[in-house]
């Protein structure tokens, strides 16, 4: 026996097992490796999805023992004619649009600045990505303190720059300001994520391309629009896809900050869905709601992935 | 435009994917727009048709 550890392990394998493994085809070994993942995927993703679709056609309530009755499409009909659901969809659309807009704009600008070589570059990158590493529950909690009209730092900063009395407005208590309060916090927390993805895109552009553009006397402005933007675009689209899906199901941060209020002005679809499922215990109705959201996100993600592939092919 | 319609008639992927994409986009807009309740009511069926169509037609030949 040689002293090589691999040889020793091979020799230590019982003869019966060695024969059995040797008898497996490559395909069988591949299935052996992939099998557990597929079983896990079926158990954790596919089965609950099918079960949810099944429940969406019933009047099942998880807090009652009686059997569920099939009620056809009545849950879907109720959801899609409910003005409160319509309002929560609008709140979600508003939140999605503005968070993605600001995150892409500021994230790209920060990445562009960080990409320039300057002293303390790495330190600034670390400082900027700090918010992303915090728990959304923690962020939600400390921003509620920052937004306090009497003691909150945010109102004092606004007063310092604009002269508006700090105690005259409440970011999370005012109907017109509350949607912006969640947009600000989400932007603060997740802009670093967009920045990191954009930074990866910017760093993947070889310097030789810019040198060639310099030789052709292309202006900095033209270089930015014809080289930088098209080459970072796939990365930017990926960031938008990730943030879009994440924000569509945003829950924890908003619950901690505003709890969906004042009134229902910041009640996003995920909060509405949670209330239907676990406060009103309308499980069948909530399942139909979840199916609607799933189809929407799935449809959007499909066309987005297609667009992303097209951009990458260019 | 005529290429788009001939693509639809010949069951080509590009044209049908475009149609499915339009349906999904329209459905999502209908779902989230603040103007018209009736559009909200029919948004899900439009999105669903678009999404199922997208899955099916992505197996069509180029």
How much is the pLDDT for A6?
A: 62
Task: Return residues 15-54 of B near A (CB < 8 Å).
Answer: 17, 20-21, 24-25, 27-28, 31-34, 37, 40-44, 47-48, 50-51, 54
Per the CB < 8 A criterion, the answer to whether A59 and A288 are in contact is no
Taking one residue from A and the other from B, the number of pairs with CB-CB distance under 8 angstroms is: 50
pLDDT tens digit sequence for A25-61? 888 899 999 999 999 999 999 999 999 999 999 999 9
How much is the pLDDT for A16?
A: 57
CA–CA separation, A263 vs A84, rounded Å? Answer: 11
pTM: 0.82
Least confident stretch, A62-66, A127-131, A172-176, A309-313: A309-313
Question: How far does the CA of residue A141 sit from the closest CA of chain B (Å)?
Answer: 29
% of chain A at pLDDT higher than 90: 47
Nearest to A93 among B21, B32, B47 (CB): B32
**Cβ–Cβ below 8 Å for A299 and B17:** no
How much is the pLDDT for A1?
A: 46
> Can you give the residue ranges of every domain in chain B?
2-57
Q: What are phi and psi of B3, to 5 degrees?
A: -60, -40
- Give chain A's domains with CATH numbers: 5-55 (no CATH), 82-313 (1.10.3720.10)
Tokens of residue B21, six digits? 């994409």
A7: confidence class by pLDDT, cuts 50, 70, 90? low
**Cβ–Cβ below 8 Å for A93 and B41:** no
Looking at beta carbons, which residues of chain B come within 8 Å of A306?
17, 21
Q: Average of pLDDT values for A166-195? A: 91
Looking at beta carbons, which residues of chain B come within 8 Å of A81?
37, 41
Looking at beta carbons, which residues of chain B come within 8 Å of A300?
24, 28
In chain B, the residue whose alpha carbon lies closest to the alpha carbon of A83 is B37
Sequence-distant (≥ 6) Cβ neighbours of residue A124 within 8 angstroms = A114
Question: How far does the CA of residue A285 sit from the closest CA of chain B (Å)?
Answer: 15
Using alpha carbons, select from A82, A98, A157 the residue that is nearest to residue B44: A82
Q: Average of pLDDT values for A101-129? A: 89
A22: confidence class by pLDDT, cuts 50, 70, 90? low
- pLDDT at position B18 over 60: yes
Question: How far does the CA of residue A292 sit from the closest CA of chain B (Å)?
Answer: 7
Give the sign of the dihedral formed by CA B29, CA B9, CA A301, CA A184: negative
Per the CB < 8 A criterion, the answer to whether A178 and A258 are in contact is yes
% of chain A at pLDDT higher than 70: 93
Q: What is the Cβ-side half-sphere exposure of residue A177, based on CA atoms within 13 angstroms? A: 13
**Cβ–Cβ below 8 Å for A296 and B31:** yes
């Amino acid at each position: 026996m040689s002293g090589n550890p691999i040889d020793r392990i091979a020799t230590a394998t019982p003869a019966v097992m060695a024969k059995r493994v040797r008898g497996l085809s490559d395909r069988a070994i591949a299935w052996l490796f992939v099998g557990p993942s597929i079983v896990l995927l079926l158990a954790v993703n596919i089965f609950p999805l099918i079960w949810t679709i099944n429940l969406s056609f019933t009047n099942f309530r998880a807090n009652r023992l009686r059997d569920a009755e099939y009620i056809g499409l009545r849950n879907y009909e109720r959801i899609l004619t409910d003005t409160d659901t319509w309002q929560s969809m609008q709140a979600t659309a508003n939140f999605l649009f503005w968070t993605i807009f600001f995150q892409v704009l500021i994230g790209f600008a920060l990445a562009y600045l960080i990409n320039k070589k300057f002293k303390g570059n790495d330190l600034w990158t670390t400082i900027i990505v700090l918010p992303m590493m915090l728990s959304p529950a923690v962020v939600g909690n400390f921003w509620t303190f920052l937004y306090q009209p009497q003691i909150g730092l945010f109102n004092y900063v606004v007063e310092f720059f604009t002269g508006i009395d700090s105690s005259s407005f409440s970011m999370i208590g005012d109907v017109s300001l509350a949607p912006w309060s969640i947009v600000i916090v989400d932007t603060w927390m997740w802009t670093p994520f967009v920045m990191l993805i954009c930074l990866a895109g910017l760093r993947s552009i070889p310097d030789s391309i810019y040198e060639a553009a310099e030789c052709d006397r292309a202006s900095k402005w033209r270089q930015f629009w014809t080289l930088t933007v098209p080459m970072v675009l796939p990365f930017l689209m990926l960031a938008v896809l990730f943030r879009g899906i994440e924000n569509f199901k945003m829950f924890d941060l908003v619950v901690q900050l505003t709890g969906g209020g004042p009134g229902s002005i910041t009640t996003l679809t995920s909060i509405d869905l949670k209330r239907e499922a676990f406060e009103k215990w309308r499980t069948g109705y909530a399942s139909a709601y979840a199916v609607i959201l799933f189809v929407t996100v799935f449809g959007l993600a499909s066309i987005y992935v297609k667009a992303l592939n097209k951009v990458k092919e260019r | 435009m005529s290429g788009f319609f001939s693509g639809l008639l010949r069951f080509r992927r590009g044209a049908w994917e475009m149609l499915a994409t339009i349906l999904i986009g329209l459905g999502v807009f209908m779902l989230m727009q603040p103007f018209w309740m009736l559009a909200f009511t029919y948004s899900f069926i439009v999105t669903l048709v678009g999404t199922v169509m997208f899955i099916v037609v992505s197996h069509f030949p180029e």
